Structure 1
Amino acid sequence: MIRTGRGALLALAVLCMPAAHAQPLRTSTLLPPAAFGPFTGVARQGALLLGTAPAGTTQLALDDMPIEVARDGRFLIAFDRDAGPHASLVAILADGRRVTKEFDVAPGEWRIERLDRVARTPVPDAEFERRRPAELEQIKAARLVHSDADGWRQRFIWPATGRISGLFGAQRIYRGEPGAYHGGVDIAKPAGAPVVAPADGVVILAAPSPFTLEGNLLMIDHGMGLNSAFLHLSKIEVRVGDHLRQGQEIGRVGATGRASGPHLHWAMMWQGRRIDPMRVAGAMAQ
């Protein structure tokens, strides 16, 4: 079953409850922060945390943003690449009491390249400017789709293995002007190499023709607002609405769109926040 829009997300948040990962706590309200279950993961820029909400939780919010909670109390939160140093998780119980857990968010270690003698000079591209708005609308609409997938609970695997040719968060600074940071991880592979689903999910976008930037773009919803995007594919082997199992082949590596050579670009987002796939999947087994 697939639900769309913010209303469905808020409705789910009322039905479910959260979980937690081991982080130092600073304050609590009425009930101790230990009422949250232990968290899996580390509070860090670009990272995910899985936790369990206190018994009787009816609402959960991270810095005032409603958080979806599963019926067994498990939930997912994440911190953007540029997240601030502190975050507050608040659970409201059925009797009106509140439980607050404060996180100290560790900074990420991003590869920053400073080009003090090079100006940022994007080349105008009329075709790109003409097509890009409609492509962005498709991507935006796909990210509003929330499925009942449970892939967010799984230990993610790499969709392809090989040399890491691009790191999440890498950024160039042109004469003091920051360029856009790299929003995913690049895996260098020959064209035609298989790509598999890193976790269970539902296909929310399978580009019918190559996008100007992403090329053949595939997006999968893993549930709880967590999704993956796979760029530059030479072939997409699944369709919108397909329910996928972890390890299932979903496409082939390519160099479509704006790519200098064949590779897989894997990007992940949670509730609009960009996260590091390498921190989700862990060390790659070659």
Structure 2
Amino acid sequence: MCKGCGTLGYQDNIKEKIYDVIFESETPVGKAFDILLILTIIFNSALMIFESVESVRESYGFLITSLGWFFIFIFTIEYLLRVYVAHGRMSYIFSFFGIIDLLAILPAFFVTFLPQARLLVIFRIFRLLRLFSILKMGRYIEESSQLMRALKASRAKITVFLFTILFIIVIVGSMMYVIEGPENGFVSIPESMYWAIVTVSTVGYGDISPQTSVGKFVSGVLMIIGYSIIAVPTGIISNELAHTTKNLVGGKQCRHCNWQAGSLDDKFCPKCGKEINIET
């Protein structure tokens, strides 16, 4: 009888149990682990947000630092356990979530001898992406794929729209530089273009404002254009999204351009003109 077989079998059994807890969420223990991990990630992210507030950092610096290292310890143990019990160890290490899990803990150890690495703690926020895996949000991939297809189909119209906006901004910015001048805050054409961008987006910071009657008139016209512009990209994408959804619901879609293939008797796509190569 093999002397080490019992020990190896026991170790394999322990690994499988840990694997079921960490990687499987269908068991009661696995669900409990996922809930605990979600809470830990949320609390850790909230801690980082509050740490950036100077008054909070000055009042509770020691507590924040202690909790931060506690979360790092938890994440480190979790990562090591995932590597240890993963069926495909290298596959996990170099997977998307494996890299995210590693980036969440490495900066904390680097900062002890490399203070500049403190800026890398932002990677800990990326642990929130783990929620997509835990909450099984992959079921929404098809919906996101439809949106991406709609954006891809409308890229030409969106490009024309953006170039039109850029043209308006350059022209109006140049006009306001001439009309208002440096004495009213329009010290250069780039500065005037910044004002045009803020105005056409209807944000209106108010740090630069026209003082002359002509300048106010141009500003008013630009504001009206800004309100009308808001609806343009929405309409373009909504139209393409409706076509994409109709294609999928109809069960027939051109693989060349993702457009409605038409009736079953159509031989050519009504959009790209290519011979229809459809998915049914």
Provide the TM-score with structure 1 as the length reference.
0.19
Rg comparison, structure with higher value:
2
The answer to which structure has the higher strand fraction is 1
Provide the TM-score with structure 2 as the length reference.
0.20
Relative contact order (C-alpha < 8 Å, sep 6+): which is higher? 1
The answer to which structure has the higher helix fraction is 2
